[in-house]
């Protein structure tokens, strides 16, 4: 035994001697004593830092958001409670990661444990609330897509995936902000709903960046996930504080718990109990744990959950380049409006307005993200290039509306537009007016997830996919093409 451990060895020998004396007086076998002491040690196990940080995230952002839902009325209060159930269910998944090894197939292994989360989402999706909360509910459903981070693995990183969900959610949240702008009576509550929801997602992204950068963190020395029971995860510490063990509770454990009870009652000859003078050994003082990092020096002092120092930003290969300076200007040469690098933060209310004064002018929109572009007046053409999660609304176009290299965009014609050209675009919805239905045509290439919506005679909005799958045949020496049966 090393010189540093000799004092501790003497203390332990003394404790064992006292325990043997008490066992002899009570008639308890040594095996029973060990079975009683072991559970007490396990119960005192500290909460994992990942869970501590997640509980802090809940108290810091989820609680204010659910309170903002309650402030909107009883209908939204139940929706807020269901969102709390979703976050609690995700906490159970995080706790499983602290106890279990990573399975070969994460989504399949976690599926039974995701049921509580999916059930809560189903309640939100089927909630019957007032029509005035339609935009609120749509913003929530877009936000809830971020919960799937638990089954993700990079690329992209879960933190970035969660942060990207803000754009789709803000599309509807900005409509709420605009609707209640200037309403001093109801406006603050609705704006707080939007702000606290966004803050919650941003805080979750920061938490994932700190503790789950490469996906849900697992315990390489833990048990198999298949051995974990569904629902065995504990509740957040703030919601269910741990009660101190009582003598009655210890006695109910059976005869084996007798030694634990007697240790609380019996006193030794010098007036101290058998455990007097012993210090609690925290995780960072247990030499067999990997947390122990000072084997040759003084015993480290107990510390709380480690707080990692902020790491300097490092540019990664293939990382997304920042947008350039925003522009919204008219160029006489070419009669063109240039709208570039606009975001919801560069425009008032997330809407960038372009007022066209001559039908010869065209509008060119380039590299805009999470913003709505409103074009007022009749123009020659509209071009949307390399934009993401944008909405474009225009009155009348003489020539065509072109969409190139875009992702998740929406285009709405409130007037007439004879032609739409869609090229290398993934995710687009074209909204037609009554005037544009009969005269609009579509030319598409190398694009996917295309849809068009229009009002029918009764005023109801209809939506249908634009075919992207075709069947080709050779007929009389030439190629003929037909739309796939998938669209019939």
Average pLDDT over residues 112-141: 89
Average pLDDT over residues 386-414: 94
Instruction: Give the pLDDT confidence score for residue 311 in this predicted structure.
Output: 56
Enumerate the β-bridge partners of residue 12: none
pLDDT at 341 > cutoff 80 = yes
Give the least confident one: 2-11, 93-102, 176-185.
2-11
Average pLDDT over residues 310-325: 61
Instruction: Give the pLDDT confidence score for residue 13 in this predicted structure.
Output: 67
How do residues 258-270 score in pLDDT, each as one tens digit?
444 444 444 444 4
Instruction: Give the pLDDT confidence score for residue 17 in this predicted structure.
Output: 66
How do residues 179-237 score in pLDDT, each as one tens digit?
898 888 889 999 999 999 999 999 999 999 999 988 999 999 889 988 888 776 655 54
Q: Please tell me if the domain spanning 49-227 has the same topology as the one spanning 327-487.
A: no
Domain ranges of the chain: 6-46+237-285, 49-227, 327-487
Q: How many residues does the chain have?
A: 488
Separation CA 79–CA 86 (nearest Å):
11
Q: Residue 267 burial by CB count (10 A; 0-12/13-18/19+): exposed, middle or buried?
A: exposed
Instruction: Give the pLDDT confidence score for residue 334 in this predicted structure.
Output: 74
**Percentage of the chain exceeding pLDDT 70:** 72
pLDDT at 238 > cutoff 50 = no
Between these two residues, 295 and 129, which has the higher pLDDT value? 129
Average pLDDT over residues 462-468: 90
How do residues 41-83 score in pLDDT, each as one tens digit?
333 457 889 999 999 999 999 999 999 999 998 789 999 999 9
How do residues 417-452 score in pLDDT, each as one tens digit?
999 999 999 999 999 998 888 889 999 999 999 999
Separation CA 216–CA 232 (nearest Å):
18
**Which residue's entry shows tokens 């690329």?**
155
Between these two residues, 245 and 392, which has the higher pLDDT value? 392
Sign of the C-alpha dihedral computed for residues 180, 186, 187 and 192 taken in this order? negative
pLDDT at 99 > cutoff 50 = yes
pLDDT at 134 > cutoff 50 = yes
The CATH-assigned architecture of domain 327-487 is 3 Solenoid (2.160)
Between these two residues, 201 and 37, which has the higher pLDDT value? 201
Average pLDDT over residues 347-360: 90
Instruction: Give the pLDDT confidence score for residue 240 in this predicted structure.
Output: 37
Average pLDDT over residues 355-382: 93
Between these two residues, 365 and 273, which has the higher pLDDT value? 365
Separation CA 427–CA 143 (nearest Å):
18
Q: How confident is the model at residue 395 (pLDDT cuts 50, 70, 90)?
A: very high
pLDDT at 303 > cutoff 90 = no
Instruction: Give the pLDDT confidence score for residue 470 in this predicted structure.
Output: 86
Highest mean pLDDT, choosing among 261-270, 367-376, 469-478: 367-376
DSSP assignment of 22-76 equals HHHHHT--HHHHHHHHHHHHHHTPPPPHHHHHHHHHIIIIIHHHHHHHHHT-HHH
CATH number at 49-227: 1.25.40.330
Name the 3-class secondary structure at 171: helix
Separation CA 360–CA 207 (nearest Å):
51
Name the 3-class secondary structure at 250: helix
Separation CA 370–CA 368 (nearest Å):
7
Residues 6+ apart with CB under 8 A from 153: 106, 214, 215
472 to each of 111, 132, 423, 484, 486, how far by Cα in Å?
40, 48, 21, 9, 14
pLDDT at 251 > cutoff 70 = no
Global pTM? 0.44
């Amino acid at each position: 035994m090393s010189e540093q451990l000799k004092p501790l060895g003497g203390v332990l020998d003394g404790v064992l001697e006292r325990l043997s004396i008490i066992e002899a007086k009570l008639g308890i076998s040594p095996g029973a004593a060990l079975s009683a002491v072991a559970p007490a040690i396990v119960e005192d196990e500290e909460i994992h830092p990942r869970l501590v940080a997640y509980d802090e995230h809940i108290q810091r952002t989820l609680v204010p958001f659910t309170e903002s839902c309650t402030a909107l009325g009883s209908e939204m209060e139940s929706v807020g409670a269901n969102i709390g159930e979703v976050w609690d269910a995700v906490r159970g998944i995080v706790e499983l990661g602290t106890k279990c090894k990573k399975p070969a197939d994460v989504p399949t292994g976690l599926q039974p444990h995701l049921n509580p989360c999916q059930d809560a989402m189903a309640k939100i999706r089927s909630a019957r609330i007032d029509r005035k909360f339609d935009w609120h509910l749509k913003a929530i459903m877009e936000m809830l897509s971020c919960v799937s981070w638990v089954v993700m693995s990079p690329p992209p990183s879960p933190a970035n995936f969660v942060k990207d969900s803000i754009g789709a959610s803000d599309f509807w949240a900005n409509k709420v902000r605009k609707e209640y702008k200037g309403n001093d009576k109801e406006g603050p509550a609705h704006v707080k709903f939007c702000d606290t929801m966004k803050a919650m997602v941003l805080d979750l992204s920061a938490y994932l960046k700190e503790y789950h950068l490469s996906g849900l963190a697992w315990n390489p020395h833990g048990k198999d996930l298949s051995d974990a029971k569904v629902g065995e995860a504990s509740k957040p510490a703030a919601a269910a504080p741990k009660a101190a063990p009582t003598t009655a509770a210890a006695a109910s454990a059976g005869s084996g718990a007798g030694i634990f009870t007697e240790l609380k009652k019996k006193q030794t000859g010098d007036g101290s109990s058998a455990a007097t003078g012993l210090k609690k050994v925290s995780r960072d003082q247990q030499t067999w744990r990997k947390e122990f990092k000072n084997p040759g020096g003084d015993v480290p002092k107990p510390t709380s959950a480690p707080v990692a120092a902020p790491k300097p930003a490092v540019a990664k290969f293939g990382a997304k380049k920042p947008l350039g300076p925003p522009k919204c200007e008219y160029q006489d040469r070419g009669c063109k409006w240039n709208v570039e690098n606009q975001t919801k933060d560069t425009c008032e209310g997330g809407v960038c307005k372009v007022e066209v004064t001559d039908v010869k002018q065209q509008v060119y929109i380039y590299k805009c993200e999470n913003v709505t572009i409103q074009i007022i007046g009749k123009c020659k053409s509209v071009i949307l290039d390399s934009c993401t999660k944008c909405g474009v609304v225009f009155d009348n176009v003489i020539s065509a509306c072109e969409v190139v290299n875009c992702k998740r965009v929406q285009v709405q014609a409130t007037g007439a537009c004879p032609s739409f050209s869609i090229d290398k675009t993934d995710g687009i919805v074209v909204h037609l007016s009554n005037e544009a239905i009969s005269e609009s045509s579509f030319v598409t290439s190398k694009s996917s997830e295309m849809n068009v919506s229009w009002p029918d005679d009764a005023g109801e909005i209809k939506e249908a996919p634009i075919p992207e799958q075709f069947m080709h045949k050779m007929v009389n020496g030439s190629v003929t093409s037909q739309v796939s049966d998938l669209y019939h």
